[in-house]
Structure 1
Amino acid sequence: MTATAFCLHALGSSSEEFVALRARLGGTLDLVGIDLPGFGTSSAVTGTTVEEMAELVERAIGTSGATECALVGHSMGGKVAAVVADRTMSGANGLFGLRAVVLLAASPLSPEPMEEARRARMLAWTADHEIGPDEAAEFVDANTADQLPPEPYATAVHDVQRADPAAWTAWLLRGSREDWSDTAEPNPVPALVLAGAEDGDLGPDAQRRLTLPHWPQGEFDVVPGAAHLLPWEQPDAVADRIRSFWERRVDHGPVVPTASARVIASPRVSARARGVLAARALPDDPAASPRALTPAQLDVLRAVARVVVPQHGDRGIDLALRVDAQLAAGDGDGWRRDGLPADQDAYRAALDTLAPEAAVSDEHLADVLDAIDAGGYTPAAGTLDVGQLRAWSEDAGVDLVRQWLAHPATMAGIDYDGFANGGDGVRKQGFQLLGAGQREAWEPDGVTR
Structure 2
Amino acid sequence: MSEDTASVPDEAPLTLYLLHALGASARSFDRLADRLAGHVRVVGIDLPGFGSEADATATDLTRTVAHVERVLAAHDGGPWLLGGHSMGGKVTALVASRVLRGEAALFGLAGVVLMAPSPPRPEPMDEERRERMLSWVADGPLSDEDAETFVAQNVAEPLDAEAHAVALDGLRRTSPAAWRAWLETGSTVDATAEVGLLDLPALVLAGEDDADLGAAAQPGLLAAVYPRARFVALPDTGHLIPLERDAEAAEAIARFVDEEVRVGPVVPDEWARLIAGDRVDDRVRGILARRALPDDRGYAPAALDLAQLTLLREIADLVVPQEGRAIDIAARVDAQLARGEGDGWRNADLPPDPEAYRAGLDTLAGVWATDPADRDRILRAAIEGESTAEGAFDAERMKAWLEDVRNDLVRQWLAHPASMARVGYDGFATGGSPMRGYVELRLGRREDWEPSGVGGTIATGDAA
TM-score by length of 2: 0.89
Task: Please tell me whether the aligned partners of residues 4 and 31 of structure 1 are also in contact (alpha carbons under 8 angstroms).
Answer: yes
Contact 1:67/1:96 (CA < 8 Å) preserved in 2?
no
Q: Cα distance 1:359–1:26, how it changes in 2: closer, same or farther (>3 A)? A: farther
The superposition leaves residues 229-274 of structure 1 with CA deviations (integer Å, 9 ceiling, x where unpaired) of 1111111221121111111111111111100010000000000000
Q: Take 1:182 and 1:86, find their aligned partners in 2: how far apart are those partners?
A: 10
Provide Cα deviations, 1:167-220, integer angstroms capped at 9, x if missing partner.
111111111112211222201221112221111111234322222311122222
Q: TM-score, normalised by structure 1?
A: 0.92
Match of 1:361 among 371, 381, 395: 371
Q: 1:442 matched to which residue of 2? A: none
Worse-matched range after superposition: 187-196 or 397-406: 187-196
Query: Equivalents in 2 of 1:59, 1:180: separation in Å?
Result: 21
Give the alignment partner of residue 140 of structure 1, picking from 134, 144, 151: 151
The Cα of 1:355 is off from its aligned counterpart by 2.6
Q: What is the distance in 2 between the residues matched to 1:227 and 1:66?
A: 35
| 1:185 maps onto 2:193 in alignment | no
Deviation at 1:360, TM superposition (A): 2.6
Partner of 1:307: 318
Contact 1:50-1:80 within 8 A present in 2 as well: yes
CA contact 1:269–1:429 (8 Å) conserved in 2:
no
Which residue identity does 1:282 align to in structure 2?
L
Q: Which residue of 32, 39, 43 maps to 2:50?
A: 39
2:13–2:78 CA contact under 8 A, matched in 1: no
Deviations 1:71-99 (A, max 9, x none): 11000100111100000000001110000
Aligned-partner residue type, residue 392 of structure 2: T
Q: CA RMSD in A?
A: 1.6
Among 323, 337, 351, the residue aligned to 2:361: 351
Tell me which of 435, 440, 457 is aligned to 1:427: 435
- Does 1:121 pair with 2:129? no
Amino acid at match of 2:130: R
Q: Any residues of structure 2 matched to 1:198-213 within 5 Å, and which? A: 198-213=209-224
**Matches of 2:92 and 2:167, distance apart in 1:** 21
1:418 aligns to 2:427 (yes or no): yes
Once the two structures are superposed, what CA deviation does each residue of 1:348-394 show, in whole Å capped at 9, x if it has no partner?
22222323544332222221222122222221x22111111001111
| Contact 1:104 1:230 (C-alpha < 8 Å) held by counterparts | yes
Q: Report deviation, 1:104.
A: 0.8
SS class of match (1:402): helix
Distance 2:234 2:173 in 1: 28
| Residue matched to 1:247 | 258
Match among 383, 389, 406 for residue 398 of structure 2? 389
Match of 1:80?
Answer: 91
> Is the aligned partner of 1:398 residue 2:431?
no
CA contact (8 A) 1:103 1:194 kept: yes
Structure 2 stretches lacking a partner, 5+ long: 1-11, 439-464
Instruction: Provide the secondary structure at the position in 2 that maps to 1:326.
Output: helix
Shift of 1:428: 6.8
Q: How does 1:58-73 map to 2 (within 5 A)?
A: 58-73=69-84
Q: What is the Cα deviation at residue 29 of structure 1?
A: 1.2
Q: Deviations over 1:118-161 (max 9, x none)?
A: 11111111111321211111101100001011111121112111
**Residue aligning to 2:449:** none
Determine which structure has greater relative contact order: mean sequence separation of CA pairs < 8 Å that are 6+ residues apart, divided by chain length.
2
The separation in 2 between residues aligned to 1:134 and 1:108, in whole angstroms, is 29
Alpha-carbon distance between aligned partners in 1 of 2:84 and 2:184, rounded to the nearest angstrom: 20
C-alpha distance in structure 2 between counterparts of 1:370 and 1:53, whole Å: 57
Task: Measure how far apart 1:46 and its partner are.
Answer: 5.1
CA apart distance, 1:401: 0.3
**Which of 293, 305, 314 lines up with 1:294 in the alignment?**
305
Deviations 1:303-348 (A, max 9, x none): 10011011013x1111111111111111111211121122222212
Deviation at 1:67? 4.4
More displaced 10-residue stretch of structure 1: 218-227 or 403-412 = 218-227
Structure 1 151/108 Cα, relative in aligned 2: closer, same or farther at 3 Å?
Answer: same
- Among 317, 321, 324, the alignment partner of 2:334 is 324
Where does structure 1 lack aligned partners over 5 or more consecutive residues?
431-449
Residue 429 of structure 1, CA deviation: 8.5
The AA in structure 1 aligned to 2:346 is R
The aligned amino acid for 2:427 is: G
Number of residue pairs the alignment of both structures matches: 427
Cα gap change, 1:395/1:46 in structure 2, threshold over 3 Å: closer, same or farther? farther
Q: Which residue of 1 aligns with 2:169?
A: 158
Q: Give the counterpart of 2:386 among 376, 386, 401.
A: 376
Q: Secondary structure at the match of 2:193?
A: coil
| Aligned sequence identity (%) | 48
User: Are the aligned partners of 2:13 and 2:77 in contact in 1 as well (CA < 8 Å)?
Assistant: no
SS at match of 2:132: helix
